[in-house]
Amino acid sequence: MLQNTGKLAGQTLFITGASRGIGKAIALKAAKDGANVVIAAKTAQAHPKLPGTIYTAAEEIEALGGKALPCIVDVRDEKQIGEAVEQAVRKFGGIDILVNNASAINLTGTLETPMKKVDLMLGVNLRGTYLTSKLCIPHLLKSKNPHILNLSPPLNLNPIWFKNHTAYTMAKYGMSMCVLGMAEEFRGSIAVNALWPKTAIQTAAMEMLGGAEVGKQCRNVDIMSDAAYAILGKPRSYTGNFIIDEEILKTEGIKDFDIYAVAPGNALLPDFFLDEAEALVQNMGDQVVIPVVKGDSRSAATSGPIAETFNIIKGVLNPDIVKSTGGVYKFDLSGEHAGVWFIDMKNGGGSAGSGEPPVKADVVMTMDSADFTKMFAGKLKPTMAFMSGKLMIKGDMTLAIKMEKMMSMMKSKL
């Protein structure tokens, strides 16, 4: 891990969404240097599913030697941001670093995304980042080595990163466009950069999206805090960069990245917006031998690799799986073995077969039949298929992730 050098001692960081996750990890890394940290976040009272508040984060910061200012802030609210900035300047004498970390996510398609969710993502990700930057910049201009760091991805216009979640991509790319514009606008005065992880990062929000099991395919938040620390120590001339955590840490001499893995040795889930994710899935697919059922050429409903897979699914289903899953899945398959299939893991002892499900599906998965076979053979994880654009999901994303449990049970049978 990257060692602290004291370079942030006495500097004031204004971090949005710092009550938990990556934002808090960056705050704690700075606290070890003796930095001042403004915790600008909404959580003043404990959330039933998400741990941590601005006050518990402040206690952790001060325990490590830093100074903390917890501020109840909704980044969409200009008045609240303005008051938090004023408090920071009064308490610490200025602001040296802004970290725009606060973000909202909803991974659904255009027809499935309520406008309330669209407004939330655009309000937090785009407007919140722009507003907080706008109000901090007058103070950053007075700092000796000012930085703005946005937790946002490279501006990758590959359509696969738009088609399954256009609203989220628009909102997240809005943060990146702030980097692109402000870096040039304030070149020579303020360093403005973006940081994004190469792999999925284990946070409470990630577990809510993907379930507890997804953590085994993640790195921990320390890799992002180390990468941020490396960036924030650079001169203001280091600006306009879209930085990947692993890449900058390699330049800092880090060679062993297993120290950041939640479960060392496990395959890591690539993060969104990086074409390496698409390439990885493609490479995996090239190594897969798709099982073929020998026999006559009857329809896929009675013969072929899809029918064989569903025969195995029927044998695996039991009341325990149904109870733990609680979802009805519809598969709309294209390609060589096109057709509609279903798995009911919500009612009775469960059922599976060809055609429409007996009740309305909670999740509809659309994909090529060859990728479906790979997925149930354990060669292509649903999360990776989704992130690479091979799988379109409509409905409950959490239920989609739960499919991996059944797939792990089936792996030995396929």
CA distance to 131, 310, 322, per residue, from 410 (Å)? 50, 11, 15
Q: How far apart are CA 260 and CA 152, in angstroms?
A: 20
The token pair that represents 214 in the structure block: 């997804």
Residue 193, beta-bridge partner list: 149
Q: What sign results for the dihedral spanned by CA atoms 221, 227, 232, 233? A: positive
Name the DSSP letter for residue 391: E
Specify burial of residue 302 (Cβ count, 10 A radius: 0-12, 13-18, 19+).
exposed
Side chain identity at residue 295, one-letter code: G
Give Cα 126 distance to the centre of its chain: 16
What is the three-class DSSP state of 16? strand
Q: How far apart are CA 386 and CA 365, in angstroms?
A: 10
User: What crossing angle do the helices spanning 21-31 and 222-232 adopt, rounded to 10°?
Assistant: 50
Active site residues: 168
Side chain identity at residue 22, one-letter code: I
Q: How many residues does the chain have?
A: 414
Neighbours of 348 (CB within 10 A): 9
Beta strand 327-334 with 242-244 is unpaired
Count CA atoms closer than 13 A to 149's CA, side-chain side. Answer: 32
The token pair that represents 64 in the structure block: 């490590």
User: What crossing angle do the helices spanning 128-140 and 78-92 adopt, rounded to 10°?
Assistant: 30
Residue 274 region by backbone torsions, left for phi larger than 0, else alpha for psi between -120 and 50, else beta? beta
Q: How far apart are CA 288 and CA 384, in angstroms?
A: 15
The residues, any chain, with a CB within 8 Å of residue 224's CB and separated by 6 or more, are 22, 25, 26, 151, 195, 197, 201, 245
